[in-house]
Amino acid sequence: MKINWEHKRVKHAIERMWLRGVSVRDVEEAVTKGKKVLQRETGLVQAMYKRYFVVYDEKVYQKLNLRKVYPVTVKMQ
């Protein structure tokens, strides 16, 4: 798994992380360990972990055996 922090959509997630006191490590834990729910309207994945939600887009490249994660936003419970 690789989290892409360079994508243009990630800027909003970084701002929300800063406002809510969530670290990069917290986001990585949420993506790997959190309970995942698919949002039907947007097609994005929402992972709930501890006290916050991480909404992200995920691309799976099976030939490279790689998952790329693009965080969209971070919400608090």
- All domains in the chain, ordered by first residue: 2-76 (3.30.2310)
The pLDDT assigned to 36 comes to 94
What is the mean pLDDT of the segment spanning 20-29? 92
Instruction: Centre a 10 Å sphere on the Cβ of residue 25 and count the other Cβ atoms it contains.
Output: 8
User: What is residue 45's predicted lDDT score, i.e. its pLDDT?
Assistant: 95
User: Regarding predicted confidence, which is higher, 5 or 56?
Assistant: 56
Q: Give me the helix-helix angle, 24-33 and 10-20, nearest 10°.
A: 110
Summarised one tens digit per residue, pLDDT across range 42-56 is 999 999 998 999 999
- Mean predicted confidence (pLDDT) in 50-63: 91
